[in-house]
Structure formats: C-alpha cells, structure tokens
A and B are shown apart, each in its own frame.
Chain A
Amino acid sequence: GENVEQHPSTLSVQEGDSAVIKCTYSDSASNYFPWYKQELGKGPQLIIDIRSNVGEKKDQRIAVTLNKTAKHFSLHITETQPEDSAVYFCAASPFKAAGNKLTFGGGTRVLVKP
C-alpha cells in the first residue's frame, strides 16, 4: 500500500517568514495530493490540493509543488501569520472520481512566533 512520509515534524518560524513542508510517497499510482490543516481540538480542513497533471498550484499565500518523477511534493506558506500556527498533514490517493483513499503523512506542527 501507499506510504507517505512528512518532514519536518515540527517547524518554528518568525512571523512574516516562509515555511516549507516536504512529503514523499511510495505508490506511483497516486495522483491526488491534498494538504490539510488541523487546529487544536478541530478536525482537519483542506487548504489546497494538486493533481498529477499539474506541477505547481498557488492560492494566495500558500502553494504546492509536485515532482512525480521523484515522488515528492511540498507545501510553501509565505508571509506567515500567527493564525497559520497549526498541524499540517499531506496526503496521497489514487483519485477515482469522488471516491478516494487517502494515506496521510505524520503531520508537521507549525508555530509562527509573533
């Protein structure tokens, strides 16, 4: 089955700096890569996703890049703000229509210091 590894496990940045989280996956059949943000006491919430026919996607201060050859993808957060402090999870799935089977990474706890 799919195995997703995520680094680093914790990340502390100064407000305004950038944060980068990296993930690798093992199954070449995976072609859907979402990122979820989980705040304390809440369930994960989708913040951005990318499919294998796209190399990069950007939404305001967040961007995701995908390298299918190397089987890795990354999340970039620019101009970090205190509300970006949370745990971030990458995931991978063989996406078929709406029914997908996500395998999550272990998570990265991001702390943005004011």
Chain B
Amino acid sequence: EAGVVQSPRYKIIEKKQPVAFWCNPISGHNTLYWYLQNLGQGPELLIRYENEEAVDDSQLPKDRFSAERLKGVDSTLKIQPAELGDSAVYLCASSLGRGASGSSGELFFGEGSRLTVL
C-alpha cells in the first residue's frame, strides 16, 4: 500500500515568491495534517482536516499561508509571499478519522517538502 506522498521534495525560491506543496494521503484516511519542521526541532501543527473541513488551523499564519482539501482527499499548502524565515521542511501526515474502526491514533507522515527561501 502506498504511503503519504508529497511533492515537491525540494524547492528553492527567492523571497516574496509564491510556493505550493501537494500531499496525497493514504487511501481511506479521513484526517490530514500539515506540520512545519524547523531544523533541529520537532514538528509543529499548522492545520488539521477532517475530510474537507479544517478543524484546527489556529497555528496557520493566515496572512501568507493558505491550505485546501477540496474533495477530502489530497491537499495543497500555499505560501504567498514567502519570507526567509519560511525555510523549513513541510510535513504532511494522515490518519484514520474519528471513530473509525481500528483507529490507533497513529499518524503516517510523508517524506516532507524542504523549502529554501533565498
């Protein structure tokens, strides 16, 4: 079974440019997360979706960041305009939804998209 797929793996842009990251979760996983991981630190939640609904976006900097999961499957995270401090790894994860049979709470992470802003 395919895991969580993210693209691109690496992206280098100049500051003030826009950038977008794409994530395809594990089939059947209703919950999707975007995490930010700065170098040498633990992941920090940006946004969590239950199907199409963003149920927790309190940590998403909404002035420049946006996300969507239009059909409740794949998701896109956008930054516009990018700043130097946005250089980090953006991790996508998925898990079985609330109340799903067999759910253990485990998050399955993709390999991440590494952003470098020059």
Query: Which residues of A are in contact with B by a Cβ distance under 8 Å?
Result: 4, 6, 32, 34, 36, 41-46, 49, 89, 91, 93, 95-107
Contacts and interface: CB of A to CB of B under 8 A. Distances in A.
Nearest to A43: B109
Q: Nearest 5 pairs between A and B by C-beta?
A: A43-B109, A104-B42, A98-B103, A99-B98, A97-B98
21 contacts: A4-B42, A43-B93, A43-B109, A43-B110, A43-B111, A43-B112, A46-B107, A49-B105, A49-B106, A89-B43, A97-B98, A97-B99, A98-B100, A98-B105, A99-B31, A99-B98, A100-B105, A104-B44, A106-B41, A107-B40, A107-B41
B43 A44 contact: yes
A101 B48 contact: yes
A95 B107 CA distance: 12
A102 B103 contact: no
Interface of B: 4, 31, 40-45, 48, 50, 55-56, 91, 93, 95-100, 103-107, 109-112
Contact of A96 (B42, B45, B98, B107): B98
A32 B109 contact: no
Contacts, number: 69
Contacts of B95: 98
A99 B111 contact: no
Contacts of B96: 98
Given A102-B45, A105-B42, A34 B50 contact: no
Nearest to B91: A43
Contacts of A46: 106-107
B102 to A, nearest CB: 9
Contacts of B56: 101
Nearest to B42: A104
Nearest to B100: A98
A101 B105 contact: no
Nearest to A1: B58
A95 B105 contact: yes
Contacts of B42: 4, 6, 89, 91, 104-107
